[in-house]
Amino acid sequence: MVPVEGVDLGLLFGAVEERPPLDAVEVMAGELERVLGAGHVALLIADLSGSTLVRLSHVTGSAQTAGHNERGEAVPLAGVHERVFSTQQAAVVAEGDAWRVLVPVTERGDAIGLLEVSLPAEPDPGVIASLVAAGHALAYVLIAVRRHTDLFEWAQRDRPFSVSAEIQRRLLPSAYTAEAGAVTVAGWLEPSHTAGGDTFDYSLDREYLYLSLTDAMGHSTPAALLATLAVGVLRNRRRVLATPAEQAEAADAELRANASADQFVTGLIARLRLADGALEVVNAGHPAPYVIRDGRPRGLELSIHPPLGAGPGGYRADMVTLEAGDRLVMVTDGYLERQAALVEIEAILVAGAGRHPRQVVQQLARAVLAATGGRLRDDATVLCVDFYGPAGRRDATGGASQARATRP
């Protein structure tokens, strides 16, 4: 493979493949030391709260304790770290006789964390481009590596998970954000203390973006199990290219056959045609989504069908046309319960009109935590889609890593 600004990606990927999965960062460090004379190299991975980065390390020698040898140092997502993470642009910081460079570790808009590198001299644009390429490569390496280990999942958890929260997390897509030409999609789930019922999901093919946002009644493990059944049916039907109405019919029938008579799931099930913005939406007893056009939010007026599992079927999709530049936002009723209702959703959507969907969903999550004092009575989940039209995205604000750097 041709080297990218000095970092031979072919050599890098080959070296990673030959070493144990957890040595990915050490392999990257060795390559950067060889090419750029780098000293300290570390991965800072974003935790699940969205407010902290975690610097991983491993204890060796006499300090080892069987099964507990990994360490995670929390670094607040503030200052230069927050700026790099949110803008997705590298930053260079002078530290005495050395220079510290922070670059995003991001894949298709899904911000995994930051790569932190110490250099003996101020880096020129070519070196910064090398590090940006290395950060991008590391994102793909981590995506592959984390299939074989729980270490990164362990590092991301800022608190212990209940069984219901464990089930719920497995129902979410592996990447919360995706940039894909005609669209960018981002989701976020802020769990209540008794997490379990909310989910969001998406999938892209050549023609459509498929979406779902669901809220299973109840809390804790029963809600998580109900959500598992609902999401399983929706994915099963989606993977044979079923329409939103067909997905809803199947989920309703499966829930009525296998769940308790008093159990149901509300949801929005949709697919967006990428060529022209044609949007099919089934509203199964759920709060209506918003469309933000020219900076102004409005609620979509949709037909409201019974929740999934409540019968008697007969689901039909409403047809809406999104224009290039429109933003679609779906929320669960965790944003509407008494305390959370203090969140001024429309004001946040107006203020964030120019921000990346990843930033918008995290801002809404921070707002609901602030409004409830961190004591959510219900899961609060949001799914945000920017539609650019067939021509694709018109700017890269907050998107893929840029090969330029800022200096504080």
| The amino acid at 218 | G
How far apart (Å, rounded) are the C-alpha atoms in residues 306 and 318? 15
Contact 199, 171 (CB under 8 A): yes
pLDDT for 73 = 84
Residue % of the chain over a pLDDT of 70? 90
- For residue 186, give every residue at least 6 positions away whose Cβ sits within 8 Å of its Cβ, in sequence order, or none: 109, 176, 177, 178, 356, 357, 358, 360, 361, 383, 384
Q: What is the mean pLDDT of residues 129-137?
A: 89
Q: Is the pLDDT of residue 171 over 70?
A: yes
The predicted structure's pLDDT at residue 392: 77
**Is pLDDT larger for residue 408 or for residue 200?**
200
Q: Specify the pLDDT at position 185.
A: 98
CA distance 258 to 256: 6
Mean pLDDT of 157-161: 84
pLDDT in tens, 374-383: 888 889 999 9
- And the tokens for 183? 């669209």
Residue 394 has pLDDT above 60, yes or no: no
Quick one: tokens of 93?
A: 């910081």
- 38 within 8 A of 118, measured Cβ to Cβ: yes
- pLDDT tens column, 313-363: 899 999 999 999 999 999 999 998 767 777 899 999 999 999 999 999 999
pLDDT mean over 14-35: 78
Q: 182 — phi, psi (to 5°)?
A: -75, -20
**Radius of gyration for the chain, computed over Cα atoms and rounded to the nearest angstrom:** 22
76 beta partners: 52
Tokens describing residue 244: 């939103």
Model confidence at 7, pLDDT cuts 50, 70, 90, reads low
In the Cβ-directed half-sphere of 31, how many Cα atoms lie within 13 Å? 27
**pLDDT confidence of 388, banded at 50, 70, 90?**
very high
What pLDDT does residue 106 have? 94
Kind and range of the H or E element at 75? strand 70-76
Phi/psi of residue 357, each to 5°?
-55, -35
DSSP state, residue 19:
S
Q: What is the pLDDT of residues 109-132, one digit of tens each?
A: 999 999 999 999 999 998 899 899
pLDDT value for 69? 64
Residue whose pair of structure tokens reads 């999934």 in the numeric block? 308
Predicted pLDDT at 68 = 63
Asked whether residue 195 carries a pLDDT value surpassing 90, the answer given is no
Structure confidence by residue, pLDDT tens digits, 224-264: 999 999 999 999 999 999 999 999 999 999 999 999 999 99
pLDDT, position 35: 79
Q: What's the whole-model pTM score?
A: 0.89
Answer whether 5's CB lies under 8 Å from 126's CB: yes
Average per-residue pLDDT in the chain? 88
Q: What domains lie within the chain, and their CATH numbers?
A: 9-155 (3.30.450.40), 162-387 (3.60.40.10)
* pLDDT value of residue 398: 43
The predicted model gives 254-281 an average pLDDT of 96
Least confident residue range of 77-91, 129-143, 174-188: 129-143
**Residues contacting 360, CB < 8 A, separation 6+:** 186, 327, 329, 348, 349, 352, 384
What average pLDDT does range 104-112 have in this prediction?
Answer: 94
Those residues with Cβ within 8 angstroms of residue 328's Cβ, 6 or more apart along the chain or in another chain: 272, 279, 289, 290, 291, 292, 322, 384, 385, 387
Residue given tokens 């945000």 in the structure block:
384
- Would you place residue 4 in the very low, low, confident or very high pLDDT band (cuts 50, 70, 90)? very low
Supply the pLDDT for residue 367: 92
Pairwise CA distance, residues 280 & 248, whole Å? 12
Point out the least confidently predicted range of 83-92, 154-163, 181-190, 324-333.
154-163
Alpha-carbon distance of 33 to 11, in angstroms, equals 14
Q: Find the helix or strand (DSSP H, E) in which 357 lies.
A: helix 357-372
Residue burial 349-366, b: 16+ Cβ < 10 Å; e: rest = beebbeebbbbbbbbbbb
In this predicted structure, what is the pLDDT of residue 2? 34
Is 70 exceeded by the pLDDT of residue 402? no
Q: Tell me, what's the pLDDT at 401?
A: 44
Would the pLDDT of 56 be above 70?
A: yes
pLDDT higher for 27 or 67? 27
